Structure 1
Amino acid sequence: MDALILLGSFLLLILIGMPVAYALGAAALIGAWWIDIPFQAMMIQVAGGVNKFSLLAIPFFVLAGAIMAEGGMSRRLVAFASVLVGFVRGGLSLVNLVASSFFGAISGSSVADTASVGSVLIPEMTRRGYPRDYATAVTVSGSVQALLTPPSHNAVLYSLAAGGTVSIGSLFMAGIVPGIMMNLCLMALCLVFAKKRNYPKGEVIPLKQALKICREAMWGMMTLFIILGGILSGVFTATESAAIAVVWAFFVTMCIYRDYKWSELPKLMHRTVRTISIVMILIGFAASFGYIMTLMEIPAKITTAFLTLSDNRYVILMCINVMLLLLGTVMDMAPLILILTPILMPVIVGIGVDPVQFGMIMLVNLGIGLITPPVGAVLFVGSAIGKVSIESTVKALLPFYAMLFFVLLLVTYIPAISLWLPNLVL
């Protein structure tokens, strides 16, 4: 009955249109009232949920990504990707995916990736003869990489939701191989379409111009090397690397590229603060919601239910994947990570799955949800930028979904894909 009151009230509030963050807080208060917990205890949990040093990484990474996104970085990364792969048949679709990979490694956000790369490449692909829905599908599917490769904001959220038992550095390293694998699989699919549909070849960029493009792009790419290099060398923590990334992004944008006006910085800061305030409210209320779930012993009951269902880890992982895929289509990624991680962590530990690997499984699952209707935020952004209907984009995405599901299965059932690099360097 306790679980029905807590989870039922949360779902009811969502259905009547209340924002997820406030629905979490209100449901937690209803749950506290039901089991006779003082409301003051809930406020302490909310304050404690956001009063963590590691959380500073999120606003800093968001700000660094915003500065680089609006400061001309996306245009330079597209040009750099064109140097690398733009000369083959269907090369512009490969440029799209490679640029998404590079930009995702700077922004850590699928929405920012789609908005920045898509605004440059979808019109250009359409002009070169690619169908508009196909160009949008390539952009949208490629942006899922940003959730895996460092500095992924959602990896930081997963570390927080796991109670700090999973290091952010390990999650950053774990996402590199799956991210590269996803990119290569999508590129292979695009090459097949290019040959089958006779998409145009790109032009070979002259050496002198190519060197200039590479030199300009390297300033922005240094952000990733600063983040990973600092963490792996032990010079600074993941949180400190985020602050340094902001300083470097600001320096490159305002002093080297100089495409951004100083007068526009206050507006950028205002947009970033609005985004971060929403995330922090969500984290605080999720902490109180998780506290009530623990008192009601909901995670333990769900663990028992899964272990009763089967004693085979592969069957349990498949059931968890199906659940995450379905939930990811109807709820946003951040609240699902904060709600489900404390529930599922005892289950995956009980069947012998490494929490770092499970972090990658969760990110891939929920990343697919972001590009799937009815509540796919990245899908909506891509369709708006591409000026195509949701239905047309989803139809064009069908083969890309199949490739993403293939990557999900590999990440789920081959632990070394996620764990090899963290074990090697950490």
Structure 2
Amino acid sequence: MDTNTTAVLILVGSFFVMLICRFPIAFAIGLASIFTTYYLGLPMMQIAQLMVKGVNVFTLMAVPFFIIAGELMGAGGISKRLINLSNALVGWLRGGLAMVNIVASMFFGGISGSSTADTASLGTILIPMMHEQGYDDEFSTNVTMASSVQGLLIPPSHNMVMYAMVAGSVSVGRLFLGGIIPGIVLGIALMIYSYILAVKRHYPKGEPFNIKNVLVTLADSIWGLITVIIVVVGVVSGIFTATESAAIAVVWAIFVSFIVYKELTPVKMWHVIERSLGTLAIVMILISTSQVFGWLLTYLKMPEMVASAILGLTDNRYAIMLILNVTMLLLGTIMDMSAIILVATPILLPIAMTCGLDPVHFGVIMILNLGIGLITPPVGGTLFVGSAVSGVPIEKLIKTLVPFFIVMIVVLLLITYIPGIVMFLPNLLMPVLGV
């Protein structure tokens, strides 16, 4: 066995052994990199240099701002206003609260960009409301978790910023635009399934549709929704970079939460900072250690090995795209989303590009795959949050999640094999790469 093959086995093998032993993902990545570097006889100082290089990226500055903005808007009264707006729009349908849940996630996702934040914020309000109106606890929790994945696709999404950073010359603005239609398609698909189930189980309707109520709730929630306009329009038009728009979004969120809605107290603000720093610390450690891991993968020619293995199975582009989806779905069940983006993108993106996939198209496919992973055991972060919020054991949720998985995978296949769903808005509004 040659040196490179042994090094690959040490790198990948030790990483998965530590995952099985429940090491924190960042430590598993970092230690596996140290073991491999030592075996190869490379200078240990290179690890420190690569870790610093990994976080010394201007685009990366957008990530903490998006995290803080999402936490601010979640704690500042925006959640209940979005629920009121969603209720006015779709609450009159059969299974109205399920529809409200999905539409509210569509709105809230455009502010927080986080599946777990969406589930925690909206779930604490909507799941008890649905229980009181006779909805099954499992269904109430599952529709909250499944719809929260829209938040990863609909901009702003700090995961898309991370993908753009790892992928290289990929426009954040084009990625943001690429996620809008798939996010809406996912929401519509979930609404169709929820409506069919609501009719079958005789779930209640809400109050009749009232245009005056829609206008009143829209006026009340518009301050929060302006956050999305600031980010998306600012980045797409070229007025702001992603980092600048994220910083402005934080300032706007503070203004709305403190001055307009007056629901963000100093105590709440402290908790917002605390949660944001906790999330950011995890993300930054992951990025720095993944930089070393990714460099070693490239040094050992792992991307070429994986590409040769996949292309050796078939040269059919549709089959290769299916293999890539299955690979990402499987990775999503055992690894953290951020870690997969950082580690797997350099390996899988070149393969996708050999099939003719635009990096923006592949990025959206990856985000949805990994979003499904967030509600899949054994490491699905959103699944754990949903269970904690609702009090329903994970074992019960998993059984009833199967139809939602099917709906989401159908949407995944649609956006994979119909590129126009992703690429229509980027090609229409930003035909030239580079923002």
- Please indicate the TM-score interval, normalised by the length of the shorter structure: over 0.9
C-alpha separation between the residues in 2 aligned to 1:92 and 1:268?
Answer: 28
C-alpha separation between the residues in 1 aligned to 2:142 and 2:220?
Answer: 28
The aligned runs of 1:208-357 (5 Å cut-off) are 209-357=213-361
C-alpha separation between the residues in 2 aligned to 1:213 and 1:417?
Answer: 30
Aligned to 2:15: 10
Aligned to 2:157: 152
C-alpha separation between the residues in 2 aligned to 1:408 and 1:205?
Answer: 32
Tell me how far 1:391 sits from its aligned partner: 2.0
Amino acid across the alignment from 1:3: V
2:8 aligned counterpart, secondary structure? helix
Tell me how far 1:406 sits from its aligned partner: 0.4
C-alpha separation between the residues in 2 aligned to 1:192 and 1:42?
Answer: 54
C-alpha separation between the residues in 1 aligned to 2:306 and 2:218?
Answer: 52
Amino acid across the alignment from 1:315: A
Identity %: 49
Of the three residues 168, 172, 187, the one matched with 2:172 is: 168
C-alpha separation between the residues in 2 aligned to 1:180 and 1:207?
Answer: 22
Aligned to 2:105: 100
Aligned to 2:70: 65
Aligned to 2:35: 30
C-alpha separation between the residues in 2 aligned to 1:156 and 1:239?
Answer: 9
C-alpha separation between the residues in 2 aligned to 1:34 and 1:79?
Answer: 59
8 Å contact kept, 2:174–2:236: no
C-alpha separation between the residues in 1 aligned to 2:366 and 2:210?
Answer: 43
Aligned to 1:397: 401
Aligned to 1:421: 425
C-alpha separation between the residues in 2 aligned to 1:233 and 1:173?
Answer: 11
C-alpha separation between the residues in 2 aligned to 1:279 and 1:46?
Answer: 13
Amino acid across the alignment from 1:114: T
Aligned residues: 425
C-alpha separation between the residues in 2 aligned to 1:209 and 1:84?
Answer: 9
Tell me how far 1:267 sits from its aligned partner: 2.8
Tell me how far 1:206 sits from its aligned partner: 5.5
Tell me how far 1:209 sits from its aligned partner: 4.6
Tell me how far 1:259 sits from its aligned partner: 1.1
1:108-130 deviations in whole A, cap 9, x for unaligned? 00000001111110000110111
Unaligned runs of 5+ in 1: none
Aligned to 2:201: 197
The aligned runs of 1:91-130 (5 Å cut-off) are 91-130=96-135
Of the three residues 89, 92, 98, the one matched with 1:87 is: 92
CA-based RMSD: 1.2
- Comparing 409-418 with 263-272, which one deviates more in the overlay? 263-272
Tell me how far 1:74 sits from its aligned partner: 0.5
Aligned to 2:433: none
- Comparing 349-358 with 238-247, which one deviates more in the overlay? 349-358
Amino acid across the alignment from 2:296: I
C-alpha separation between the residues in 1 aligned to 2:142 and 2:25?
Answer: 28
C-alpha separation between the residues in 1 aligned to 2:411 and 2:311?
Answer: 26
Tell me how far 1:210 sits from its aligned partner: 4.1
1:353 aligned counterpart, secondary structure? coil
C-alpha separation between the residues in 2 aligned to 1:409 and 1:205?
Answer: 34
1:4-40 deviations in whole A, cap 9, x for unaligned? 1111121122222321101111111111112221011
Amino acid across the alignment from 2:72: I
Does residue 360 (structure 1) correspond to residue 373 (structure 2)? The answer is no
Tell me how far 1:207 sits from its aligned partner: 5.4
C-alpha separation between the residues in 2 aligned to 1:279 and 1:8?
Answer: 23
8 Å contact kept, 2:98–2:140: yes
Tell me how far 1:43 sits from its aligned partner: 0.9
Does residue 52 (structure 1) correspond to residue 70 (structure 2)? The answer is no
- Comparing 191-200 with 10-19, which one deviates more in the overlay? 10-19
8 Å contact kept, 2:88–2:213: no
8 Å contact kept, 2:89–2:209: no
Q: TM-score, normalised by structure 2?
A: 0.95
Tell me how far 1:377 sits from its aligned partner: 1.1
C-alpha separation between the residues in 2 aligned to 1:32 and 1:187?
Answer: 50
C-alpha separation between the residues in 1 aligned to 2:233 and 2:357?
Answer: 28
C-alpha separation between the residues in 2 aligned to 1:263 and 1:222?
Answer: 25
C-alpha separation between the residues in 2 aligned to 1:284 and 1:337?
Answer: 13
Amino acid across the alignment from 1:332: D
1:262-301 deviations in whole A, cap 9, x for unaligned? 2332232122112101110110000011111111111111
Tell me how far 1:384 sits from its aligned partner: 1.4
1:404 aligned counterpart, secondary structure? helix
1:175 aligned counterpart, secondary structure? helix
Aligned to 2:46: 41
Unaligned runs of 5+ in 2: 1-5, 431-435
8 Å contact kept, 2:333–2:378: yes
1:375 aligned counterpart, secondary structure? coil
Tell me how far 1:49 sits from its aligned partner: 0.3
